């Protein structure tokens, strides 16, 4: 028997992968690599808290509302603390924007070169029913002078200025998926070893797909163009798949092909998702995977943010499907019919 067959390789760890890819950044001196490791560390801790939430009474509502006016879950608070602590202790980040905090968070690391915008725990209301939830993050280089206190302008950059973005999905397995502008790679967590291993190299989203993800409970408030697109999807016998957890819906469509839509509605005329730490990072990822993201008319990453918690409609996924819905939305105003192909 071949001795090597008794101890097969376990694969490439996230740390090793990051080190190998460091040459992708000629201006980097290791800070971005360390920052990604800090995020991975916080992810492992949050994953532990999620997996034992039903045993130590940290599931359910916390009793407060966040800046978005949404009821905070206990795990929202836990995840926010864990990520802020990891980023503060790491030293590479000067300023943080979080869904859970109204103002920018100063880390005290004035020498830090980076800014992080994050949704620490997206879809956390689903934790009580064991539905997959996630973390979304976006990384920018600061624009204020190094050595000074970071400010809001460091955070209010277009998505095109992102240097890295990613998400974590806590589901049947825990996966970290990220891009640094050179493709998209996914890593699966192996809890017995406490390591992320490369499991999905060079992720590419199918150019088209047969899945549309939208909350049709709001159909009465859809625009005529969007309603026509949904009717088109049904005519094509596409499958409706909507989990109600952004990361989970996006992750499925990224791997299988499809489109995720959170449109403007009467209740939320600007959409509900936040530009800085939900739409932009997912747009960066999907574009690097060969897909597309827009607000229905404009490329997501070219939208100019004016506030830390700006909201934005989101049409993201396979390129052909995003372009098709944009056709229907444009036709609503031009009154020109859309080709049914």
pLDDT at 93: 97
Name the residue among 160, 165, 113, 116 with its Cα closest to residue 141: 113
From CA 289, how far away is CA 200, in angstroms rounded? Answer: 12
From CA 177, how far away is CA 182, in angstroms rounded? Answer: 13
Name the residue among 265, 322, 320, 276 with its Cα closest to residue 295: 322
pLDDT at 51: 83
Burial of residue 145, with CB atoms counted within 10 A of its CB: 0-12 exposed, 13-18 middle, 19 or more buried:
exposed
Coil vs helix vs strand at 13? strand
Q: Find out whether 215 is annotated in a ligand binding site.
A: yes
Instruction: List domains and CATH numbers for the chain.
Output: 8-200 (3.30.540.10), 211-334 (3.40.190.80)
Q: Find out whether 320 is annotated in a ligand binding site.
A: no
Q: Find out whether 334 is annotated in a ligand binding site.
A: no
Q: Find out whether 74 is annotated in a ligand binding site.
A: no
Q: Find out whether 242 is annotated in a ligand binding site.
A: yes
Long-range contacts of 234-237 (CB under 8 A, 24+ apart): 235/340, 236/210, 237/210
Q: What is the pTM of this model?
A: 0.91
Q: Find out whether 57 is annotated in a ligand binding site.
A: no
Q: Find out whether 121 is annotated in a ligand binding site.
A: yes
What letter does residue 276 receive in the DSSP assignment? I
Name the residue among 13, 34, 48 with its Cα closest to residue 191: 48
pLDDT at 49: 87
Coil vs helix vs strand at 104? coil
Q: Find out whether 51 is annotated in a ligand binding site.
A: no
Would you give per-residue pLDDT tens digits along the chain (341 residues)? 455 555 556 789 999 998 888 766 655 568 889 999 999 999 999 999 888 765 445 544 544 555 555 556 788 888 999 999 999 999 999 999 999 999 999 999 999 999 999 999 998 778 778 889 999 999 999 999 999 999 999 999 999 999 999 999 998 899 999 999 999 999 999 999 999 999 999 999 999 999 999 999 989 999 999 999 999 999 999 999 999 999 999 999 999 999 999 999 888 888 999 999 999 999 999 999 999 999 999 999 999 999 999 999 999 999 999 999 999 999 977 655 565 65
Q: Find out whether 119 is annotated in a ligand binding site.
A: yes
Structure tokens, 9: 């390789």
């Amino acid at each position: 028997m071949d001795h090597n067959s008794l101890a097969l390789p376990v694969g490439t760890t996230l740390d090793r992968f990051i080190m190998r890819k460091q040459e992708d950044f000629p201006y980097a001196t290791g800070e971005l690599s360390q920052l990604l490791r800090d995020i991975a560390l916080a992810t492992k801790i949050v994953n532990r808290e999620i997996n034992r939430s039903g045993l130590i009474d940290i599931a359910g509502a916390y009793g407060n509302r966040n800046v978005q006016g949404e009821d905070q879950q206990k795990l929202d608070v836990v995840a926010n603390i864990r990520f802020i602590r990891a980023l503060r202790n790491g030293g590479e980040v000067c300023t943080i924007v979080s869904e859970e905090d109204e103002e920018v968070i100063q880390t005290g690391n004035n020498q830090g070169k980076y800014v992080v915008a994050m949704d620490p725990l997206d879809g956390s209301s689903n934790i009580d029913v064991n539905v997959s939830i996630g973390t979304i993050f976006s990384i920018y280089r600061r624009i204020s002078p190094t050595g000074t206190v970071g400010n809001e302008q460091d955070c209010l950059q277009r998505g095109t200025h992102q240097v890295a973005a990613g998400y974590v999905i806590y589901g049947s397995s825990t996966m970290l998926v990220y891009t640094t502008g050179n493709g998209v790679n996914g890593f699966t967590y192996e809890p017995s070893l406490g390591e992320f291993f490369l499991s999905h190299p060079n992720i590419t989203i199918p150019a088209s797909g047969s899945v549309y993800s939208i909350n049709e409970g709001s159909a009465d408030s859809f625009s005529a163009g969007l309603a026509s697109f949904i009717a088109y999807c049904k005519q094509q016998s596409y499958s409706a798949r909507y989990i109600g957890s952004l990361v989970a819906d996006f992750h499925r469509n990224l791997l299988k092909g499809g489109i995720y839509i959170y449109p403007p509605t009467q209740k939320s005329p600007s959409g509900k998702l936040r530009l800085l730490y939900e739409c932009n990072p997912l747009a960066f990822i999907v574009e690097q995977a060969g897909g597309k993201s827009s607000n229905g008319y404009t490329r997501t990453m070219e939208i100019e943010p004016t506030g830390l918690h700006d909201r934005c409609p989101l049409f993201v996924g396979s390129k052909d499907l995003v372009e098709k819905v944009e056709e229907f939305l444009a036709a609503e105003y031009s009154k020109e019919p859309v080709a049914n192909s």
